[in-house]
Structure 1
Amino acid sequence: MSLTISRFTKEDESWWDDYIWQADNGTIFHTRRFLSYHPQGRFVDHSLIFKRKNSIRAVLPAIEMEMDKDRVLYSHRGASYGGFVYRDMGIAEAFEVVEALKKYARENGFTRILITLPPLVYMNRYSNYIDFAMLQNGFRYLKREISSVVQLPSHPDQVLSLFKSEARTATRKSIKSGIEIRLSDDYDTYYEILKQNLKLRHNVTPTHTLPELKKLAQLFPDRIHLWAAYLGEQMIAGVVNFICTPRVVLAFYISDNKEFQQYRSVNNLFYHIFQWAVQEGFQFYDFGIFTVNMDPNWGLGKFKENFGARGLFRDSFELLMWSPQNP
């Protein structure tokens, strides 16, 4: 029985997120709850559902958009990661799903497909079948960014051994200075630190507005947390953590007040966050990418390596429907 493809409708919201959380490779970014934080009109949703008879074989969160005069099917412009989400997919079915997507895109007037996949550790069951099927069907690597991922130890007492010598010294100094690390809901203060930090370092503004960040935290109170460092009652640093899968926690917006840099509060933050993550059974901590369009930020990469991070690919694939490989 061949695969059929239908476009996501409002009625599909009732089962979509449950499917994502029970899948081999679903993340917080594939859920409708996460994608719903975007205001109406920002994106034109074009998510797809792949079925065999009445069985859902895969879903693809996606939008449609115009880009460089192309009509693009993009998975997903409004999230860190996209791609097919599935359960128990073999190699033959991976090829079927990719071939069905190509046929659908061509029949619906798309001239380009863009898909960004999470790093491999986001999978509950490792597989490169989809990547292989896409490459064999004319997709190419658009870019291969490097994400800094820490493989967490089995016991909290082993966390400090992940850190390089200088980072261990700074962490101990911060702990002795009386800096307190705790969960916080004071996003307003944190956001002011973040804005100043990004302006000083990169002369940019945060990707998310303060209301958007607050909305995400409200949508996922059990999965999105603000960890903050306090000197007395003053917040001097913070990082927002996204619990993306049962195995992976992702750092968003690491930021500190440069007036208090001597307290090395960021080191202290990650020491406590890693201990919490190990206690909760997480296996990986993702610091996010330190490359932009495959151009490394060497200082940022070294900063993350100080906490035991190593680089894993975050791949973006592209299919040009009119290319010589896809006449």
Structure 2
Amino acid sequence: MLPQKKRYQTNKLHKRLRRLVGTAIADFNMIEAGDRIMVCLSGGKDSYVLLDILLNLQAHAPMGFELIAVNLDQKQPGFPEKVLPEYLGELGIPFRIVEQDTYSIVKRVVPEGKTTCSLCSRLRRGVLYRVANELGATKIALGHHRDDILETLFLNMFYGGKLKAMPPKLVSDDGRHIVIRPLAYCREKDIAAYAESAAFPIIPCNLCGSQPNLQRQVIKEMLQQWDKRFPGRLETMFRSLQNVQLSHLADTAKFDFNGLKTQDSPYVNGDTAFDEETFDQPIEEMMLSLVEKNGNSG
């Protein structure tokens, strides 16, 4: 039995997460009546929370939809095979455990010391798409959250030269599936706190989680520093993903710069280049300190 104060905090977290998930589902029309949703359950905190919140929403939703949990057992050494079946059996939710030895493939193909995430992700995605077909799933739900989306944004900018993040809803590579991310508005720290309070049986990923100096981990630490020094900064950055002004970027394929012409009336996308921009001085100092730190570490 949880102490009263801890129980109150857990309930408060649950309500916040449920509200944010409900808002994301509504904003992006993620779930429709009659959907059969395949919830990908890895055994990590994010997917446990995703399933927990979706089960709660299912019980109170005005429309009917199905949930089926799917775990991909990648045959990592030491993987506790009984944890998820026992947990899901106690919940009474339909589930399927898919055994596919992608671990051996990744270890054989990827040279020692190189990151395994990219290949592992592609192999895992292919298996999950196949299983979604077999189950007749209309949606595939993944446990990515707001911080994952921001990390992907900066990874693509820093290392890929693209202004691209991780959308809350998309069509799969093969065009046959709708992938949804109901935790898109949720903060990782809230998810972690709720997962700890709920005492989910977390299963660590020994394949990629132990790799040092992953680019994503570097980005994660950078964002965590920003969040600690400037509370609310990540919320502002995430809002920018929902407030894109193509006329003020530089992609000629997305905006007709060649066709721009003057007009007698005010132009809705008019340039503000000559207006004074104001930024918080602490951010400028922070960016300088990051540059100096990276320069010294190189």
Task: Give TM-score scaled by structure 2 length.
Answer: 0.28
Question: Which structure shows the higher strand fraction?
Answer: 1
Question: Which structure shows the higher helix fraction?
Answer: 2
